[in-house]
Chains A and B, each alone.
Chain A
Amino acid sequence: KAGVTQTPRYLIKTRGQQVTLSCSPISGHRSVSWYQQTPGQGLQFLFEYFSETQRNKGNFPGRFSGRQFSNSRSEMNVSTLELGDSALYLCASSPVRDRNGRRTGELFFGEGSRLTVL
């Protein structure tokens, strides 16, 4: 089974620009979560999508947005980039329930998209 795929892996933007990151979850996984990882703040939860609906949201400004498509693929967008948005953005998918119907909180992570804002 293919893992979580994130594109692009690396990108460089300048302040004020906007960026879109893409995430393809593991086949069959309907939940997709996004995290921002920085040396100073660590791993911070951005949002989670399930069946094309945002189910949870972390404490980030409205410049950070996302969406999920009917095939469970997800995108996140950051508008009006700031220097502090430089980070590794990690996407994680989850099956929500295992083969026995039990809830599972396990997240399967992609390798991330490293964004540098100049």
Chain B
Amino acid sequence: AQSVTQPDIHITVSEGASLELRCNYSYGATPYLFWYVQSPGQGLQLLLKYFSGDTLVQGIKGFEAEFKRSQSSFNLRKPSVHWSDAAEYFCAVGAQNNNNDMRFGAGTRLTVKP
């Protein structure tokens, strides 16, 4: 079965600084990859997704992620973080044969310093 590792439990960045959240996946074929964001007390909102094609995908709120097959990674980036980006971020992988059995990483909590 597919699995996801998010190595960083908690990251703190200053407002206006750049951000990169790491995600490594394990899956035998080309996966479906996702990044979701969760604010306190809320459900998860999709930021972006990769199915195939261009390995650099753009998402909402100025986020982007790059799929690197050789490194089994799908890192999330943002050039300039805003205070409203403080939240928990989840990387997820879905199998191509049944993409609704989605496996999530443990999440990375982002704190933004003023």
Contact = CB atoms under 8 A, between A and B. Distances in A.
B110 to A, nearest CB: 16
Contacts, number: 57
14 contacts: A4-B43, A33-B100, A33-B101, A33-B102, A45-B102, A48-B100, A55-B100, A96-B100, A105-B99, A105-B102, A107-B46, A109-B36, A109-B45, A111-B43
A45 B43 contact: no
Interface in A33-48: 33, 35, 42-43, 45, 48
Contacts of B41: 111
Interface residues on B, range: 20 to 34
B49 A111 contact: no
A3 B38 CA distance: 16
A94 interface: yes
Contact of B99 (A4, A103, A110): A103
A105 B43 contact: no
A66 interface: no
B5 to A, nearest CB: 11
B84 interface: no
Given A42-B105, A45-B103, A106 B98 contact: no
Interface of A: 4, 31, 33, 35, 42-43, 45, 48, 50, 55-56, 90, 92, 94, 96, 103-112
Contacts of A92: 43-44
A105 B51 contact: yes
A41 to B, nearest CB: 9
Please report whether the interface of chain A is mostly helix, strand, loop or mixed according to DSSP. strand
Given A45-B101, A56-B100, A109 B32 contact: no
Given A90-B44, A107-B102, 20 more contacts: A31-B100, A33-B102, A42-B105, A42-B107, A43-B90, A45-B102, A48-B101, A56-B98, A92-B43, A94-B100, A103-B99, A104-B99, A105-B102, A106-B46, A107-B46, A108-B46, A110-B43, A111-B41, A111-B42, A112-B43
B101 A109 contact: no
Interface string B88-99: 001000100011
